[in-house]
Chain A
Amino acid sequence: MNNPWQRRRSVLNHDWLKNGYMKGVDAFVSRLGRQSPVQLRIQEFLISDFPVWRRRQPKLQALLADAVDALSPRSLFDLPPLSLCGPETLAWLPNLAHSLWLARYPIKEQVENSQRALKRADAAYNHIVKGLNGSTASTDPTRLRECEPLFREFSKALHALSAAISALPKKVMVV
């Protein structure tokens, strides 16, 4: 957990997405399915919680963009003892270790899979906003009921995204 990228992943995926945002979305979806949902809670979620996705999505995107570099054995050359290698070694060994690692593990596929899952979640979010006529503050019961399948789709996409990010390696795999 000392690796800064692992810490970022833990805060974004485990703490925020899995144990915070997703639970909020799931609770909202189940509330929508009730006969007479509490309007105040519905409103609270739509105004305060739901739009947080907009702020966090770029952070998730950046996390995934940094994943390959952060998880590669090449990153070991930034720290002692390998940072003490001389220029003759640094000319070839970091890139060789990186390429061997890519050959051993389907890391690129895993990251691309996570990025696709993020795109799907973002698209699902945008469908909801469009469905609510561009405003996440809309609490019109009829419109909300119409959007229920979209919220379910969003929830499903978030679960897939969280699982994909969790599946990325927990440490730099050197062998």
Chain B
Amino acid sequence: MLTIAIFDHDTGAELGDLVKNFPPELDGFSIFRQTRRKDEKSVPDHLKDHDIVIGHFLSDANWENLVRKSKGGQKLRIRTSTCGRSGEKHTVTALGVVVLNLCPKHDDLTPADWEGIIVALVKNGVAKGIAEGTVPPALAKYFADRQHDVLPSLAVLCQGYLIAHISPKDTPDGGGVWYGGSSAVKDAVQKMGWPDPSGEDRQLLIEQGKMAASNRAEPRELVRNPAGEYWKPLAGLVDLEGQISREWDSEAVSEDVKWLLTRIAENESIDAPERVAQVYLDLREKLS
């Protein structure tokens, strides 16, 4: 029977969320809980002997000490935090101890989440695979470091594209925006904050929209014209579609996003605001 130890430094008068949200029992595991420890001055030495340790540690030194002392067998150490540990690297030590960082806040996990995580991680090679960069789709939301580099940039460029298509003579103070007959455009521009009737910076936003939509053939032409500079930051990326797919995680990238990426990559004219609006709405769902 494998043993699991849960240590939470942040317990105060009540049990910490990490301990509270962990299932009371799990088939095939013996669970040890270290609770009501207000500091880490006395981290129990026996933690190192458990097969799995799930720890909310304040001190990096104490955590590293625990990892260093852990040896023998297939040891797994998972560090958690109340603000998530996204951006921290997973590793395998020289002694074969797998060290993972839980990306979301541990407060957000339910007992069912933890059960799914533990059952999946103890399967042969899964934990080590994560440390080496292969995260199974079912565990992606817990251990995949979601570095979104390109998706946010694409969303910002879509915002500019759509605002540039607002008719200058039809600004909100004149009575509306250019929807091009598309409910997707209307939906997208409203969701991106245009025009927020109560917004403190509403007038500024309107002025910026007028500038973006000016009749000087730019930036409306700029955002449509593939030979122009507007989409160049993305067009110049190596394997744009692959990068977007990776950031999109395991799900399939939407058809509208694929359409836009192809247009960008092949320097074709992007003259369908309703499709760009749909791309924005898809990105909104993915990133929010």
Check B156 against A93 for contact (C-beta < 8 Å).
yes
Range for the number of chain A residues in contact with chain B: 35 or more
A172 CA to B155 CA, complexed, in Å: 12
Check B219 against A92 for contact (C-beta < 8 Å).
yes
Check B82 against A82 for contact (C-beta < 8 Å).
no
Binds B, one of A33-41, A95-103, A131-139, A146-154: A95-103
Task: Give residues 65-111 of A contacting B (CB, 8 Å).
Answer: 73, 76, 80-86, 88-89, 92-93, 95-97, 99-104, 108
Any B CB within 8 A of the CB of A19: yes
A86 CA to B195 CA, complexed, in Å: 27
A105 CA to B160 CA, complexed, in Å: 18
Which residues on B sit within 8 Å (CB–CB) of A49?
Answer: none
> Which of B163, B218, B234, B287 is within 8 Å of A96, CB to CB?
B163
Any B CB within 8 A of the CB of A57: no
Chain A 11-38: CB-based contact to B (< 8 A → 1; otherwise 0): 0001100010001000000000000000
> Which of B152, B219, B233 is within 8 Å of A80, CB to CB?
B233
Which residues on B sit within 8 Å (CB–CB) of A62?
Answer: none
> Which of A82, A103, A166 is within 8 Å of B196, CB to CB?
A103
Check A81 against B163 for contact (C-beta < 8 Å).
no
Check A92 against B208 for contact (C-beta < 8 Å).
yes
> Which of B10, B159, B200 is within 8 Å of A102, CB to CB?
B200
Helix, strand, loop or mixed for chain B's interface?
loop
Check B85 against A1 for contact (C-beta < 8 Å).
yes
- Looking at the assembled complex, report how far the CB atom of A79 sits from the nearest CB atom of chain B, in whole angstroms: 8
Any A CB within 8 A of the CB of B229: yes
Any B CB within 8 A of the CB of A52: no
Check B87 against A88 for contact (C-beta < 8 Å).
no
Any A CB within 8 A of the CB of B124: no
Any B CB within 8 A of the CB of A10: yes
Any B CB within 8 A of the CB of A174: yes
Known A92-B208, A96-B212, A97-B156; judge A82-B233 contact (CB<8 A).
Answer: yes
Any B CB within 8 A of the CB of A170: yes
A114 CA to B108 CA, complexed, in Å: 24
A108 CA to B152 CA, complexed, in Å: 21
Chain B 271-288: CB-based contact to A (< 8 A → 1; otherwise 0): 000000000100110011
Check A174 against B152 for contact (C-beta < 8 Å).
yes
- Looking at the assembled complex, report how far the CB atom of B216 sits from the nearest CB atom of chain A, in whole angstroms: 11
Task: Give residues 121-146 of A contacting B (CB, 8 Å).
Answer: none
Check A95 against B208 for contact (C-beta < 8 Å).
yes
Known A81-B237, A99-B204, A99-B205; judge A89-B160 contact (CB<8 A).
Answer: yes
A93 CA to B205 CA, complexed, in Å: 12
Which residues on B sit within 8 Å (CB–CB) of A170?
Answer: 83-84
Chain A 45-74: CB-based contact to B (< 8 A → 1; otherwise 0): 000000000000000000000000000010
Q: List 9 A-B contacts (CB under 8 A).
A: A1-B85, A10-B83, A89-B160, A89-B222, A93-B160, A96-B205, A97-B156, A102-B201, A175-B284
A-side interface residues toward B, CB under 8 Å?
1-2, 10, 14-15, 19, 23, 73, 76, 80-86, 88-89, 92-93, 95-97, 99-104, 108, 166, 170, 172-175
User: Can you list the 5 inter-chain pairs with the closest CB atoms, starting with the nearest?
Assistant: A103-B193, A1-B87, A86-B229, A81-B233, A103-B196
